[in-house]
Amino acid sequence: MDQTVKQAICEGRTSLGIELGSTRIKAVLIDGNYAPAASGSYDWENRLENGIWTYSLEDVWTGLQSAFKNLAGDVRDRYGVTLDTAGSIGISAMMHGYLAFDRAGGQLAPFRTWRNTITGQAAGELTGKFRFNIPQRWSVAHLYQAILNGEAHVKDIAFLTTLAGYVHWKLTGRKALGIGDASGMFPIDSTRNSYNSGMLEQFDALVEGRGFGWKLGDILPEVLNAGEDAGSLTGEGAKLLDPSLRLKAGIPLCPPEGDAGTGMVATNSVAERTGNISAGTSVFAMIVLEKELSKLYTEVDMVTTPAGKPVAMVHCNSCTSDLDAWAGLLREAAELMGAKVEKPALYDALYLKALEGEGGCGGLLSYNYYAGEPITGLGGGRPLFARMPDSRLTLANFMRTLLFSAMGTLKLGMDTLTEKEKVRLDGLLGHGGLFKTKGVGQRLMAAALNVPVSVMESAGEGGAWGIALLAAYLRQKARGETLEDYLARKVFAGNAGERVEPDAEDVRGFGAFMSRYTQGLAIERAAVENLN
């Protein structure tokens, strides 16, 4: 037992980060040296209900309470003490989506997550109106689509927020949002670190005369920068998070952030000319820009770091879900033959097998689309595997194909930045489930994007650790200390991770796969149109 960490926990010199991801809610407690001291998690899944990808708010609280309970249990098992306080708390969650509430705090419509591609008309009209890319998953696109659909609840909206903003509101009573998460609701003016006032006026003018008793700026959360006070845990909030009533009220909270922002923090990618790739249920690359892009691209979102710096984001709705499904099938086959295979060992074995495959995957082809992908113009998703009669179907080629498929759409989006805008990348930092098996996802992603990819030992901790670091920044920042300085000098202190350069053979192999991938998109399109 580490007595120093035990004492820090007892004295509340820790920071707690909780992130609600697409498939897992994770809580991480970090010590004064920013190292994870304990963790707890809860697995959950979205559901497709009436054509909407959603989670119930009851599931949100069941998951949060379970993750915190498991964290408290880990603290008790490791250090023999009760977790009843912390120095600070941060809440993070998947970005975007639609959570609308009335004046009494009642939910007006089912939670519409980032995964939905049902706002094409609204996103297109707003993009044209603002001359700024508004992706389908953004909150304002969901709001405007609800207006275009004539949905009756819109007139009663008093508060519109994201999942992180909702949880933060319930824990603190404050309707606030970190600037990175806010930038996925509505465009941000990085010179003011707030919503773009001109575009707010354009939106209000667009819906004028429809009888709404609100203006858009009035129903959006307050925008806060990293390190700013975002309220404290109320007594009711403490009960929501810990029904055992051991957790004390009064703990300060940092601004709630989205998973993109916490990914940037967890990989020390918040300064100009840095970038990262988050690869889990979805996959996205975040590039902190030195200058604005020369034109509008619908393949690229413009968001911000948690400190408000402009970021080009290439986001794809599907990444590891299809990999997970096939791994589950192979595990079931192994168990049928009497083998007992633990999940981490299974993934390691299958991922490492992919490195034995042919560079171009032996002529195999896969699409991992569980949802629509705006980058390739598809409004729906159908996981699909295809091959020619003379393709070489081996386990190694099969696994390599699935991994390449998880990177294919990202490659198409990134080409917009690197080829059209000539954005220079010295390297990218990877984190998330795809990078857990050492050396595999990292090596193949380096080949896919033809850029060095680094992974840190903390890569598996992901966004929960990232939001814990933001909570610690609220508590520990020195006067005038920027987020960039805090991360570089205190948290990472020169740790750039283990770097892998692109392998020439892998690059050629991925190029052959992508040629087949782009030609075969018509197959995926036909599946979307005909498999209902």
Interval 93-105: pLDDT, tens: 999 999 999 999 9
Q: Is the pLDDT of residue 376 over 80?
A: yes
Q: Residue 112: pLDDT band by 50, 70, 90 thresholds?
A: very high
Q: Distance between CA atoms of 57 and 268, rounded to whole angstroms?
A: 32
Q: Distance between CA atoms of 394 and 466, rounded to whole angstroms?
A: 39
Q: What is the mean pLDDT of residues 64-84?
A: 97
The answer to the question of residue 500 being in a domain is: no
Q: Half-sphere exposure (CA, 13 Å, Cβ side) for 404?
A: 34
Q: Is the pLDDT of residue 73 over 70?
A: yes
Q: Distance between CA atoms of 299 and 387, rounded to whole angstroms?
A: 28
Contact between 309 and 272 under an 8 Å Cβ cutoff? The reply is yes
pLDDT at 292: 80
The answer to the question of residue 425 being in a domain is: yes
Q: What is the mean pLDDT of residues 455-473?
A: 84
Q: Is the pLDDT of residue 295 over 60?
A: yes
DSSP assignments along 107-141, one per residue: B-S--B-TT----HHHHHHHHHHHTS---TTSHHH
Q: Residue 479: pLDDT band by 50, 70, 90 thresholds?
A: confident
Q: Distance between CA atoms of 472 and 34, rounded to whole angstroms?
A: 8
Interval 507-518: pLDDT, tens: 999 999 999 999
Residue 504: count other Cβ atoms within 10 Å of its Cβ: 11
For residue 373, give its domain range: 268-455+505-532
CA 289 to chain centre: 19
The residues that bridge with 41 in the sheet, in sequence order, are 26
pLDDT at 510: 98
**First and final CA of the chain: distance in angstroms?**
56
DSSP assignments along 257-316, one per residue: EEHHHHHHHHTT--STT-EEEEESSSEEEEEE-SS--SS--TT-EEEE-TT--EEEEEEE
Scan for tokens 């074995």, then name that residue. 349
Residue 440: count other Cβ atoms within 10 Å of its Cβ: 22
The answer to the question of residue 288 being in a domain is: yes
Q: Distance between CA atoms of 501 and 450, rounded to whole angstroms?
A: 8
The answer to the question of residue 88 being in a domain is: no
Enumerate the H helices of 80-212 as residue ranges.
120-130, 139-148, 163-172, 179-182, 197-206
pLDDT at 269: 87
Average pLDDT, the chain: 94
Q: Residue 387 burial by CB count (10 A; 0-12/13-18/19+): exposed, middle or buried? A: middle
CA 39 to chain centre: 19
The answer to the question of residue 382 being in a domain is: yes
Tokens of 246: 């051991």
Coil, strand, or helix at residue 495? coil
Q: What is the mean pLDDT of residues 415-420?
A: 91
Q: In this structure, what CATH number is given to the domain that contains residue 356?
A: 3.30.420.40
- Of 19-23, 29-33, 233-237, 264-268, which range is least confident? 264-268
pLDDT at 225: 96
pLDDT at 458: 60
User: Among residues of the chain, what percentage have pLDDT more than 90?
Assistant: 83
Q: What is the mean pLDDT of residues 381-393?
A: 97
The answer to the question of residue 527 being in a domain is: yes
Scan for tokens 């570089």, then name that residue. 488
pLDDT at 460: 54
pLDDT at 457: 72
Interval 51-60: pLDDT, tens: 999 999 999 9
Query: For residues 308 and 145, which has the higher predicted lDDT (pLDDT)?
Result: 145
Q: Distance between CA atoms of 249 and 21, rounded to whole angstroms?
A: 25
Q: Is the pLDDT of residue 18 over 70?
A: yes
The residues that bridge with 287 in the sheet, in sequence order, are 275, 312
Q: Distance between CA atoms of 444 and 410, rounded to whole angstroms?
A: 13
pLDDT at 203: 98
User: Among residues of the chain, what percentage have pLDDT more than 70?
Assistant: 99
Contact between 291 and 264 under an 8 Å Cβ cutoff? The reply is no
Q: Is the pLDDT of residue 459 over 60?
A: no
Query: ∠268-437-115 over CA atoms, to 5°?
Result: 70
pLDDT at 125: 97
- Type of residue at 109: A
Q: Is the pLDDT of residue 448 over 90?
A: yes
The answer to the question of residue 161 being in a domain is: no
CA 310 to chain centre: 17
Contact between 268 and 492 under an 8 Å Cβ cutoff? The reply is yes
DSSP assignments along 384-412, one per residue: EEEE-TTS---HHHHHHHHHHHHHHHHHH
Tokens of 243: 């029904």
CA 307 to chain centre: 17
Q: Residue 267: pLDDT band by 50, 70, 90 thresholds?
A: confident
CA-to-CA dists, residue 106 to 167, 177, 312, angstroms: 14, 19, 35
Coil, strand, or helix at residue 490? helix
- Type of residue at 348: D
- In sequence order, the 6+-apart residues with CB closer than 8 A to the CB of 291 are none
Q: Residue 385: pLDDT band by 50, 70, 90 thresholds?
A: very high
pLDDT at 280: 87
The answer to the question of residue 35 being in a domain is: no
Interval 331-365: pLDDT, tens: 999 999 999 999 999 999 999 999 999 999 999 99
- Type of residue at 480: G
Of the candidates 185, 194, 413, 179, the one whose C-alpha atom is nearest the C-alpha of residue 287 is: 413
The kind and range of the H/E element at 454 are strand 453-455
- Type of residue at 507: V
Q: What is the mean pLDDT of residues 61-85?
A: 97
- Of 67-71, 189-193, 464-468, which range is least confident? 189-193
Looking at the structure of the chain, the number of domains it has is 1
Contact between 115 and 137 under an 8 Å Cβ cutoff? The reply is yes
DSSP state of 2: -
Q: Residue 1: pLDDT band by 50, 70, 90 thresholds?
A: low
CA 164 to chain centre: 12
Q: Is the pLDDT of residue 232 over 60?
A: yes
Q: Distance between CA atoms of 500 and 430, rounded to whole angstroms?
A: 11
